[in-house]
Amino acid sequence: SITMRVRLLLAFALVLLAGPASAARAAKRPRHPARTYVPTPENLGKVGGFSPGWTPLEACQERYRDAPLDHFSWAVPTQTYRQRYFFCPHFWEKKRDALAAAKRRRGSAKAQPRLRGVASLGADGESSPLDDLDAGFTKSGPPIFFYTGNEANVELYLNATGLMWEHAESFGAVLVFAEHRYYGESKPKPKPKEDGDALDASAAHASSVGGIIPGHLKKKGDYPYLTSEQAMADYATLIRELKAEIRAPDAPVFAFGGSYGGMLATWMRLKYANVVDGAVAGSAPVWSFVGEDPPVDPGAFADGVTMDATAAGGSPPACAPNVRAAFAELIRRSETNPKSIKAPMRLCDDTPLGESKDVLDVALWAQGAFDYLAMGNFPYESSYILNGDGTLPPYPFRVACGDAMADPTLPNKGGDALLSALADAVGVYYNYSKTRECFDTRHGSNDDSDEDGELWDYQYCTEMFMPMSRDGVRDMFFPQPWNETDAVLECERRWGVRPKTLWATTAFGGKRLSWASNVVWTNGYLDPWAGLGVQESLSPSLVAMMLPGGAHHLDFMWSNDLDPEPVIEARKTQMKLLRRWILNKYRAVAARGETFAEL
C-alpha cells in the first residue's frame, strides 16, 4: 500500500506531540505507499505472449460497474456509484484456446469420454498435478487472481504488482484489479441533471449522496459509505458477477494485496471464504489495532524505521544516534530560537518559523522522509515511492545515513552541523531531483495524493484506528506518546466522527486467526510495518514468511536480479501454495459433480 506525498501520510496516525511546553499537537504519520508507477521495459519483458512495448493498461479492459453505495441497507431505490476495475483475460484465453485445440486434436483420433472431474485423476498414478490443473481448468474454469485495491488509484497496483503478471500465465489466470471506493476514479458523485451530464453550480459545492465531489473534499462531516467492509462487499459482488460472465461459477479465486490491500485480502478470506479461496498478503499490518491480545505495540512502526538506521539494517552504526541527536536539537530550538533552524535546514524564506509549533511541523516533515525511505528501502533504483516522478537510489535509507550522518563525532561539531546533516538525509527523499535550492516543509516530495491522504485520515478516524507512538529512546525520533483520548478528540475536530476503537478487532478477529485457512503473509525485515503483521505461521495453511533484506511488499514488485534470495524464495513458496490451493478447489468441485465451465 501505500498513498504518500505532500504530507503523504499513511497511517495518518494521530499521535500526540509532547513538546517541552506540553503543547498538544496532532502528529501525522505516513500512509501506506499508494501512487502511480510505470513498469520498465525490462519488467514487461518477463511476461510472455505480448508484443514488445505492451503495457498492463493496454493488456486489460478498463470497466465500470454500478455498485451499491450501501450493501447493508434494504432501502428502495438502491443508490449506486460507478466502481472502476480492470479485467485482464489474456492468460485465461490463451490457455483456454490451447486446451480446446488439444481436445480437438485428440477427438480427431478417438472419441474421448466426458471428464467427470479431477478427484479421480492421480488415483491410478498416471496423472500429474499439471494434468489435474488442466482438468480442473476445463471443468471449473480459470483461477481468478483478484487484487483488492488500496487507498489510491488502482492503476498503481495494476502497473506495480509484477508478482501477479509474472505468474498468471502458468496458471492461465484471469487478472482483476478492483479500485477501492472513493479512490481513483471510483468516487461517488452527485447525480447529473436529467437534461445532461453537467453539474449545476449548486451541485458543484453540495455533498453528494456518497459524500464527496472531486476537488471539494469536506473537512468535516462523515462519509458513511467509506469503510473497508463496504469495499469488501464491492469486491465480493464483483467476483460473483465476473464468475457469471465467464460462466465459471466454481472458478477458484485468490485475493492479492499489499499493505492496506494485504489487510483487505486477508479479511476477504476471513469474511467471504465462500467467495475467496485464498489470499496472498504482502506487508499487511493486520495486527495493529486496539483491543488485541496481547496488545499492539504503538511504537513498533518507529522501531522498524530506526532499525533501518542501524548496522542491522545495513546502515552505518552512527546513523541512528546522530538522527536522534538532530531531532533533539530541533525540539530544543523550538523553545529557544525557532528561526535559527532556517539556515542549517535550508528552509525556504517563506517557511513559518515564528512559533515553537512551526519547528515541530518541520520535525514531523523530516520524520516523514525517514518513514518513506524505510518503506521504499529497495535493493535497486525505484520510482515507486516517488509515484513515478523520479528515482530513488538503491537502498535509499542507507544513502540518507551516509556522509555526515555516518560520522560518530558529528554531535561534537555543534547543533548547526547536526541540522545540516539532517537536511542532507531527508533530501534523499524530498530532493530526489537534486534541483531544490531550499525545502518547503509544507509540501512533500510531490503533490498528487492530498485527497487520498485526507480520505485515509477519515478511514483512520472511523475504523482503521491504529495506535502509534514514538519516544526518542527506543527509536531515533522525539516524544510523541500515544494518547487514545486525544486521538479521538482530534478525529471529532477534523471530521465530526468518533472512532470505533475496537471495531477492527471485533470484526476481523484480531490475533485469533488460527481457525482460518489458505492465507500466506510476507513481511520484510527492512519494512517498518513488519512489526504489526503476522510474523510466524499459525498452521500449515496459514503461512507467514519474514524476508531479510525486504522492504515494503518487495515480493509483490516485478522481479529483479538484485532481489535478496529470501524474496526470490518467498515468491516460489507463494506460487507453490497457490498451486496446492487451486488443486484442492478443483478436487472439491469435482467431488460435488457440478457443471462444467464453458471453453
Q: How far is CA 246 from the centre of its chain?
A: 28
Q: Which of 277, 457, 527, 555 is catalytic?
A: 527
Contacts of 202 (CB under 8 A, 6+ apart): none
Question: What's the CA gap between 305 and 367, in Å, rounded?
Answer: 10
- HEC readout, 485-542: HHHHHHHHHHHCCCCCCCHHHHHHCCCCCCCCCCEEEEEECCCHHHHHCCCCCCECCE
Whether residue 445 lies in the annotated active site: no
Neighbouring-strand partners of residue 148:
178
* Cα angle: 244, vertex 248, 253; to 5 degrees: 95
Question: What's the CA gap between 172 and 91, in Å, rounded?
Answer: 5
How crowded is residue 514: how many other Cβ atoms within 10 Å of its Cβ?
Answer: 10
Whether residue 259 lies in the annotated active site: yes
> Alpha carbon of 455 to those of 79, 289, 462, 485: distances in Å?
21, 19, 11, 22
Neighbouring-strand partners of residue 174:
144
Q: Which of 208, 259, 283, 449 is catalytic?
A: 259
Identify the CA nearest to 11 among candidates 461, 369, 382, 385. Answer: 461
How crowded is residue 206: how many other Cβ atoms within 10 Å of its Cβ?
Answer: 12
Are 281 and 271 a contacting pair, CB within 8 Å?
A: no
Whether residue 475 lies in the annotated active site: no
Set of cell numbers at residue 569? 524464495
Identify the CA nearest to 277 among candidates 527, 581, 67. Answer: 581
Q: Which of 167, 552, 555, 563 is catalytic?
A: 552
Task: Supply the residues annotated as catalytic.
Answer: 259, 527, 552
